[in-house]
Amino acid sequence: MGAHRAEPYGPDDAAAAEARAGLVREIAATGALDDPAWRAAFEEVPRHLFVPYYFTSRPGGWDRLWSGDPDPGRRGRWLRGAYADAPLATRVRDGELISSSSQPSLMARMLAELDVRDGHRVLEIGAGSGYNAALLSHRVGDANVTTIDLEPEITESARGHLATAGYRPTVVTGDGARGCPGRAPFDRIIATCTLPSVPQVWTAQCRPGARILAPLATGLIALEVTDSPHGRYAEGRFLHTSAYFVPLRGVPARRAGTYRSLGGLPRRTSENDLFRFLLTLTAGRLDPREALSLWERERRPERERYGVTVGEGGQWAWLDDPAGPYVWPLGQTYGPGTGGLSRGGS
């Protein structure tokens, strides 16, 4: 675990500490902070230093809240928002959201599922505000954490926030879809942006036994990296948790059926949400009627019945079993007449 850091809060020391303690209690009540190491990280890393300003939506645009607002009421609103269990829009360009700080309870769930151990080298895809990289640095140490983002203004901002909070992981400006070969090999890769498919190069930059956790469709896929006589591959199932994130930039245009969001959890899981997951995962392969027929025939499957395999020859999603009977390729959009699900094997 990383060393305890000094906390340069500024004029809102007591209020920030109180708000952070309240957030930790709220997350802990969900069971997402059962690991004492992660609870300590959330208790000690000051989120407000990573969101000195953020945007709240309003009809027709965005309002900006910031730490230096001369109005005490708005400044207090900023601090409360910084420690709310909610995603925050941290960067907007021409009215479009391009970066956010994810919902803290979702971050806690993802970090717990990442199954990080002492000494692990971790690559984060999507630097965002730098807050998640700080939590990882607290857990495994600065030297073992690399975070990458395509936008120079995002990485510069994240690097500054991290330094202010006392953390110095490696922050790289580059295309996260290509990983970070200069810092490989990795024991864990975590993405904080939605993917259309899992980049093959990530598995090549992992050690055997590594774990990859990433938002895909509207779920979270957890893949284990394995070497076999037929080459390296990664395979795993979706978690029960749903998740909605800003799409990864630097890959081809997002496929029909994906949804732009700040990086948070829906208010409740419903059958509509589960059906939308199937629609997103099979986008371009099944039309909605075919997807509905499959969904009902297979007893309206939960997310954890689906999985993904990433191999040297491509990648595919599957229901229940990677050997079939329901398997379909990922990473490509298919037009009319190109076929649907493979029924009878991969």
**What is d(CA 48, CA 83) in angstroms, rounded to the nearest whole number?**
7
Residue 101 annotated among the catalytic residues of the structure? no
What pLDDT, in 10s, does the model give residues 216-274?
Answer: 988 999 999 999 888 899 999 999 988 888 777 654 433 333 334 454 444 444 678 89
Section 279-300 average pLDDT? 88
Is residue 338 predicted with pLDDT exceeding 60? Answer: no
**pLDDT-derived band at 333, boundaries 50, 70, 90:** very low
**What is d(CA 55, CA 239) in angstroms, rounded to the nearest whole number?**
30
Q: According to the model, what pLDDT value does residue 98 have?
A: 80
Q: Report the percentage of the chain scoring pLDDT > 90.
A: 67
**pLDDT-derived band at 324, boundaries 50, 70, 90:** confident
What pLDDT, in 10s, does the model give residues 166-195?
Answer: 999 999 999 999 999 999 999 999 999 888
CATH of domain 13-329: 3.40.50.150
Section 285-291 average pLDDT? 86
272 vs 111, residue with greater confidence: 111
What mean pLDDT is reported for the chain? Answer: 86
Q: According to the model, what pLDDT value does residue 332 have?
A: 44
Section 102-125 average pLDDT? 96
What pLDDT, in 10s, does the model give residues 20-63?
Answer: 999 999 999 999 999 999 999 999 999 999 999 999 988 988 99
79 in helix, strand or coil? helix
**pLDDT-derived band at 3, boundaries 50, 70, 90:** very low
Residue 29 Cα distances to 22, 25, 84, 100, angstroms: 11, 6, 14, 24
> How do the domains of the chain map onto residue ranges?
13-329
Given the residues 57, 67, 99, 293, select the one marked as catalytic: 99
Is residue 95 predicted with pLDDT exceeding 70? Answer: yes
CB 132 within 8 A of CB 50: no
Q: According to the model, what pLDDT value does residue 262 have?
A: 52
Is residue 173 classed exposed, middle or buried when 0-12, 13-18 and 19+ CB atoms within 10 A define those classes?
A: middle
What pLDDT, in 10s, does the model give residues 139-157?
Answer: 999 999 999 999 999 999 9
Section 121-128 average pLDDT? 96
Q: According to the model, what pLDDT value does residue 202 have?
A: 96
**What is d(CA 115, CA 117) in angstroms, rounded to the nearest whole number?**
7
Q: According to the model, what pLDDT value does residue 336 have?
A: 30
Strands (E), 181-230: 186-191, 206-216, 219-228
Residue 164 Cα distances to 40, 69, 104, 160, 169, angstroms: 19, 19, 20, 6, 13
CB 210 within 8 A of CB 223: no
